[in-house]
Amino acid sequence: MKDKNTIFIKNKCLALGFDYCGIARAEKLDDDARRLEAWLSKGMHGNMQYMENYFDLRIDPTKLVPGAKSVITLLINYFPHERQKVETPKIAKYAYGQDYHEVIRAKLKQLLLMMKQEIGEINGRGFVDSAPVLERAWATKSGLGWIGKNGNLLNKQAGSFFFIATLVVDIELVYDDPFAKDYCGSCRRCIDSCPTDAILDNKVVDGSKCISYYTIELKDALLPEHLKSRFSDWMFGCDVCQDVCPWNRFSKPHNEINFTPLPHILNFTSNDWEELTEESFKQIFKNSPLKRRKFEGIKRNLRFIKS
C-alpha cells in the first residue's frame, strides 16, 4: 500500500517531465563501497582524481543529508529525434541539447519545493552526476533497472539513453523492491564493439581506456597516438556500447524541449568545426555540455581524429 506522500512525489516527478521514479531506503552501500574501492585501486579512473574524493559520502547518504531516510531516483530520457550527419565529427547523444546538469537541477529544486509545500518541513539535497552519489546503485535498489555489462543502467522498457538524478530526503516513504534480475544474459555486443577494449567481462569498465574519458575528461595536450585508428570520428564522448545494446531497440525520442539538439551539432560539417573560432564556440555552445571541454579541448580532439 502506497502512502499519500509517496503517491504525491511520484505524480509530481512525472508532471515535471521525469520518465521514471523509484524510491529506496537510505542506507550504507557496503557492497558498492567494496567494488568502488577495488576499481579505484586498479587506477581505472585514470586522471579523474576527483573520484577518489569524498569516498564516505559516496557510500553513505546520511553523510550527505543528516537523518536521511529515503533516496529518490529519477530517470529522464534524452534519446534524440534527430541524428548528426553521417560524415561529421561525432558527439555523444547526451550532449546534443542544453547542459543536462542545469536542466535537471532546476527540476529537482522544484520537486523539493513542491514536497515541502505539500508534506511539510523536509531536509533534502538533489544530485545530478557531478556529486558524490552512486546513482546507478540507487537506481537498481529502487527497482528501475540493472547494471549492464557496459556499466550503464538498463531499463527493460526504455534501454539506457537517460540521465539519472538523485534526491536524498529525511522522511520515510514507501520503498520499491530492488531490481534483482540481470537481463544481459550471454550477450557480449557492448564488450565486443568497444573501440578501445574498455569494457571488461565482469561488468567493469576501465574508465581510463574509454573514448569518453579521452575526449572529455583527459586534459593532456595530446591524445595517445596508438589509439587514433580506433576513435571512429568520435570528437566528444562515445555511444558505441549503447548503440549496439539490444535493449536500446526500445528507446523512444524524448519529450524534453531543453534536450532539443542544437542545429549546429546536427548540421556542422568537418569544415565548419575546423573553421570555428573561439568567440563563436563560446556563443553557440554557452549552454551546451561541450563547454566543459572548452574550445582548445574540442580543437585538440578534432585534430586527433582528422590527422
Which residue type is seen at 225?
E
Helix axes 100-119, 4-15, angle to 10 degrees: 150
Residue 200 in grid coordinates: 571488461
Using alpha carbons, list the distances in angstroms from residue 157 to 77, 143, 276: 11, 13, 40
Q: 292 near 216, Cβ under 8 Å?
A: yes
Distance CA 280, CA 291 (A): 12
Which of 60, 129, 233, 243 is flagged as catalytic? 129
- Provide the pairing of β-strand 124-127 with 20-25: unpaired
Distance CA 168, CA 94 (A): 24
Q: Which residue has the cell 563501497?
A: 33
Distance CA 210, CA 270 (A): 23
**170 belongs to the catalytic site:** no
Catalytic residues: 129
